Amino acid sequence: MVHKGESVNISLRKINKKNILKIVLEKGSISRTGISKYLKISRPTTSSYIYELIKEGLVEEKGKSKSTPAGGRKAILLNFNRKAGYILGVMIGVETIRIALSDLVSNIIRLIKIPTEEWEGPEVVIENIVKNLKELIKESGISKENFIGVGIGATGLVDSKTGDVIFSPNLKGWNNIRLKEIMEKKMDLPTFIENECRIQAIAEKKFGLAKNIKNFVCVETGIGIGTGVFINNRLLVGNKGIAGEVGHIIANITGYRLCHCGNMGCIETLCSTRSLLEDIKNDFKKIGNKSSDIKRLEIKDIYNLYKQGSEIVVQNVEKNAEYLGIAVSNIIKMFNPEIIIIHGEAIKFGEKYLDLVKKSVAKKTFPKVKDVYNIQFSRLGEEIGIMGATSFVFTNIINLENLNIAEYYIIKKT
Ligand SMILES: [Zn+2]
């Protein structure tokens, strides 16, 4: 029988060990004395927890401190053992799926990209992901039991609590897909699913421009427009995972273009790369360009034509930036973020495009609050999604049913 006092002690041990692990992770290269002072727990108690964490393989002794108190010995420094486990990350995009293997702090060890071939439908797409994940594990030579989980970022409406993809407007047949359940059965690993924009926001919070920011919004640009929102340091998910679907806010009630979600006049129909390309093609047609040339035009050609100053392209890109600015202005009024970080295809148009977005925002937002927001391009590069997906697994496992990663890892190993 467990006495009341005993269970309090167990919880206290859990909390202390978890806090030590967090400090070692956040600070890196910290001594036992440093940890004990920081957490205000006694030096012997700190040492006993650290002894356990070292035995479990999560913390390692690495190097000694440079200076010492007068006459004292140099302190041994402790670091998080980032190779105590490995994580699998997947980003399901409309055109490309990225599949990666990382250490516990999201350093990518191996990455592969495969075409999504979304027209094949969810069953084939998922089978393809599983096949590639299994191959990745096999090739790595890392034993399966050293993997702690799979993190997946998916485009569309995702209920992260159930791990279901409710609906993905740009992926054929993705309606109520029980992705978490399917993946856990096929991979035999805990799996965590989140919408791709929220995954990007998780990455910005942990590694990027939003590291020390409580309220911010990430805006994904490309075939779809979406957002990941943090309010008071918490990711906004909403009741069913719909929160942040800015791309499907109706911005033009006389909108003539049908959106993939089934509505007309969504923001996405005004400033996605798909609508930009369509508008440019129509304008080229109007001035009599050969239809075979127009048909061949792809979005990557548009970046070049923009840089070369093609009049039609410049006009349409400017209009696209103005619409994106309207979307950002709406976001500012809705969430009042400290920073808005723009991701995706828009970055390829360069700083001039960002200036146009800022100008449009300034025109459409309250003039008196001009300096309370900051709009920037993301600096995390193309693998931001994988960084977010893998770090999402790590964060979830630390909090998994109040177990800390140490205990979880031990369960996996035995
Ligand atoms: Zn829509």
CA of 327 to the centre of ligand 1 (A): 13
CA of 257 to the centre of ligand 1 (A): 10
CA of 263 to the centre of ligand 1 (A): 5
pTM for the model stands at 0.85
Confidence (pLDDT) at 396: 85
CA of 249 to the centre of ligand 1 (A): 7
Confidence (pLDDT) at 318: 96
CA of 122 to the centre of ligand 1 (A): 21
Confidence (pLDDT) at 262: 85
Confidence (pLDDT) at 236: 92
Confidence (pLDDT) at 405: 45
Confidence (pLDDT) at 400: 36
Confidence (pLDDT) at 70: 63
CA of 153 to the centre of ligand 1 (A): 20
CA of 236 to the centre of ligand 1 (A): 20
Q: What is the mean pLDDT of each run of 10 residues along the chain (414 residues)?
A: 56 80 84 92 92 89 78 85 93 94 94 95 97 97 93 92 90 95 97 95 93 94 92 88 85 81 88 92 87 84 93 95 94 93 95 95 79 88 95 78 42 42
The Cα–Cα gap between 330 and 351 comes to: 22
CA of 247 to the centre of ligand 1 (A): 6
- Mind listing the domains of the chain with CATH numbers? 2-80 (1.10.10.10), 86-202+384-411 (3.30.420.40), 210-377 (3.30.420.40)
* CB-proximal residues (5 Å) to ion ligand 1: 248, 259, 261, 263, 266
Closest CA to 87 of 133, 129, 55: 133
Confidence (pLDDT) at 403: 37
CA of 65 to the centre of ligand 1 (A): 56
The Cα–Cα gap between 302 and 316 comes to: 10
Angstrom CA distances, 1 to 13, 14, 188, 403, 407, stand at 19, 20, 33, 21, 22
CA of 260 to the centre of ligand 1 (A): 6
Confidence (pLDDT) at 8: 63
Exposure string over 314-332, b if 16+ CB within 10 A, otherwise e: eebbebbbbbbbbbbbbbb
Closest CA to 357 of 309, 318, 304: 318
CA of 34 to the centre of ligand 1 (A): 53
CA of 339 to the centre of ligand 1 (A): 25
CA of 285 to the centre of ligand 1 (A): 26
Query: Residue 233: helix, strand or coil by DSSP?
Result: coil
CA of 265 to the centre of ligand 1 (A): 7
Confidence (pLDDT) at 94: 87
The string of DSSP codes covering 60-125 is EEEEE-S--STTPPPPEEEEE-TTSSEEEEEEE-SSEEEEEEEETT--EEEEEEEE--GGG-HHHH
